[in-house]
Chains A and B, each alone.
Chain A
Amino acid sequence: MTLKRYLDTPEVGRNFEKRKTGFVGADQAWLSDLRARAMDKFMATGLPGPKVEEWKYTNLGFLARFLAQPQANENFEISKTDPDTAEIKSLFDRAYIENISGPVVVFVNGHFYSALSSRPDEDGVTFSIFSENPGGFRQSLAEEKESTPLNNLNRAMVTDGYYLEVSAQVTMSRPIQIIHLATSGSDGQSLHTRGKISLAASARAKVIESFLGPDGPQYWTHMISDVDVAEKAELDYFQLQLQGKQAIHITELHSVLLKKAKFNHMNLQLGAEVSRSEIMNSLSGEYAEIGLRGAYLGRVKQSHDIFTRINHDKSHCQSNQLFRGVLDEGGKSAFQGKVIVARDAQKTNADQSNKNLLLSRKAEANAKPELLIYADDVKCTHGATVGELDRDQLFYLRSRGLDEAAAKELLVEAFVAEVFSTMKNGGEKNGDDMEILQQRFTEKTRGWLSREVIS
């Protein structure tokens, strides 16, 4: 069930009509048709309202602003001189992990920004940018793994995106960093980007994706990632959300794993006023393994909504989920984790753990694990807790000289660290990279903690 209550449909339609000639690939009929069809679908459903169970914890009312207003950002790349390049550079420096050398691809306000990018350049790795070659995305845009309202909207309005393809047997020599920046001039803009990561049989890659913008503007990052991991391939995919305080951050990730494929995803949500992360996965081959880990920290008006789904479609697959939430004064979160084990998916091994820490009486954490099991020879566990800091631990630390704030910080950091501690197990060869990345995640978490409020 969806509700149209947030949308003035004619106005949204008129706005789309007005803007469509400015869209990337507007000269290509297949793409214009695809956009128009997706828009029709979106208009027919509108945005999901709070009565839709899956959207119970995130109110999308504020998106109306982005849909009803014309935007100025369509031709960003053409008028490249307009944006403040000094600002972009300084935002970039905050997001870029210097110690991890390797290719880096930058998007600014939803558009590819070549000036700071250096694309992957090695045999067996194909990389393309949507705005340069929309045709390369024809198949993935048409695939329509999910026909949700927001997915349709993204398809209709897509601003830019990337496609990373690693050939069979190829291991990418370095991790690739994808950096999405929003500038102080992005207020009112919606940045509908797409990513596609495709690993052929026995390929390996690491992708680190960061989202960052300044406090002040209310922009909407709306990113959809499609991930294909073929037989025996291994993908590590990290997302680090460091958006500005007023930002809205909505991502969807769809992964499909074939036989003996491995997919590790780590997700850290620190910024934005409202974030929603959907992580939908299909284990479509036997012996596939998926690990989803994440931490979300929220305070004041922040709300984080994590929605995961793992479809165990084949036998002998493993899934492991570990999510930690920390909510302070006014912060809100929801973790909805669904595991569906099909009738044929015998010998499934599925774990799910979600723990939340409330640092204030005015914080709220919702946990909703959901297991649908149709096979009979499986091992599935789940655990969800919402608790406070342990008084005995706090007193122990304080009795050794730590003041209250320092003691709380240390305990919260330890609580979250469990999520990052698994990173180092990544790969032998890239062990150093993973240590650097773990450090980055820890630093950013510490930064969030020490900012002020922890009271």
Chain B
Amino acid sequence: MDKTTYEESKMLEIKNLHVTVGGKEILKGLDLTINDGEVHAIMGPNGAGKSTLSYAISGKGGYEVTEGSVLYNGKDLLAMDPNERAGEGLFLGFQYPVEIPGVSNMNFLRTALNSQRRYQGAAEVKAVDFLKLIRAKAKELDVDPEMLKRDVNVGFSGGEKKRNEMVQMAVLDPSMAILDETDSGLDIDALRIVADGINRLRGQEKSILLITHYQRLLDYVVPDFVHVLADGRIVKTGTKDLALQLEAKGYAGLGIAENAA
């Protein structure tokens, strides 16, 4: 899109996105626009392409975009390296956060924050200020500071890993977060903490894309829009009611085939 006609309020604009993984087309012409401060939820049956969408937006290798465009704040996201996308303010909350033995959470987070700040042309955060920042964020999110000294996600329970994603999100302060099944495998306490983390971000007018299999999270984080992804496309868009309908009737009840892909 021509920069001069670009509407400032558009945070993420995906047009006709086709993505191939291992020679197989998973996304088949997906359109999605998320404006500043909006919370969108994408739901869909297994194999619909939900995780593929999050990886393609964040630039993971092996997810080949064969057609379409993704603009982020008007910039061509697909032309950027994953770290540049992060530097532009995009955050991906992983469905399965990766364990990194030998790298402490603190060291990792400080390196990440300063990498982003360098990219943005800002001064690096000093060790002392970083400590203050991370302690404050850990407290806000009710996370044990001891967890930050441990190696990244090593030996963490499923819930701890997701909390750790929230700490990272809070410290890195993105303008948009894509949260890929961040709610899966959480007990009710952990779910509340995760929801709290998301709502804090929302309170600051950030954009959020929730990718979820169940509507449970949506009780805590009420989305502005709910989309149903099936067979590589958005097939239905509505409000929170759509999620409730899905919960009640199932995908088949709404005329959407499970495992359509």
Contacts and interface: CB of A to CB of B under 8 A. Distances in A.
Given A413-B102, A414-B101, A415-B102, A398 B81 contact: yes
A403 B81 contact: yes
A414 B115 contact: no
A417 B82 CA distance: 26
A414 B111 contact: no
A401 B119 contact: yes
A402 B60 contact: no
B248 interface: no
B92 interface: yes
Given A395-B60, A396-B94, A410-B111, A404 B100 contact: no
A411 B102 CA distance: 8
Contacts of B103: 410-411, 413-414
Contact of B168 (A391, A400, A403): A400
Classify the secondary structure of A's interface with B. helix
A401 B101 contact: no
B86 A401 contact: yes
B108 A397 contact: yes
Interface string B78-92: 000111011100001
Nearest to B88: A401
A314 B226 CA distance: 71
Contacts of A413: 102-103
Interface centre among A397, A407, A413 (most CB of B within 10 A): A397
Given A400-B112, A402-B115, A410-B108, A395 B102 contact: no
B82 A399 contact: yes
B207 interface: no
Contacts of A77: none
Contacts of A402: 83, 111-112, 115
A28 B98 CA distance: 66
A19 B19 CA distance: 73
Given A417-B102, A418-B102, A398 B82 contact: yes
Classify the secondary structure of B's interface with A. helix
A401 B112 contact: yes
A422 to B, nearest CB: 13
A414 B168 CA distance: 20
Contacts of B115: 400-403, 406
B124 to A, nearest CB: 12
A93 interface: no
A395 B112 CA distance: 13
Interface residues of B, number: 28
A392 B76 CA distance: 24
Nearest to B112: A400
Interface centre among A401, A407, A413, A414 (most CB of B within 10 A): A401
A387 to B, nearest CB: 14
Contacts of A414: 100-103
Contact of A396 (B61, B81, B97): B97
Nearest to A417: B102
Contact of A395 (B82, B87, B101): B82
B108 to A, nearest CB: 7
A59 interface: no
A365 to B, nearest CB: 19
Interface in B95-143: 97-98, 100-103, 107-108, 111-113, 115-116, 119
Contacts of A417: 102
B108 A404 contact: no
A140 interface: no
Contacts of A21: none
Nearest to B168: A400
A309 B81 CA distance: 47
B172 interface: yes
A295 B113 CA distance: 30
Interface in A407-443: 407, 410-411, 413-415, 417-418
B81 A393 contact: no
Interface in B34-67: 58-61
A417 B100 CA distance: 12
A221 B117 CA distance: 46
A392 B82 CA distance: 13
Given A413-B102, A414-B100, A414-B103, A401 B94 contact: no
Contacts of B111: 402, 406, 410
A393 B113 CA distance: 17
Interface centre among A393, A396, A413, A414 (most CB of B within 10 A): A396
A366 B61 CA distance: 29
Contacts of A404: 81, 83
B116 A401 contact: yes
18 contacts: A393-B100, A396-B97, A397-B108, A398-B59, A400-B115, A401-B112, A401-B119, A402-B83, A403-B83, A403-B115, A404-B83, A406-B111, A407-B83, A410-B103, A410-B107, A413-B102, A413-B103, A417-B102
A-B complex: 9 closest residue pairs judged by Cβ atoms? A414-B102, A400-B112, A401-B116, A401-B86, A396-B98, A398-B82, A401-B115, A414-B103, A398-B83
Given A395-B60, A398-B86, 7 more contacts: A395-B61, A397-B108, A399-B94, A401-B112, A410-B107, A410-B108, A418-B101
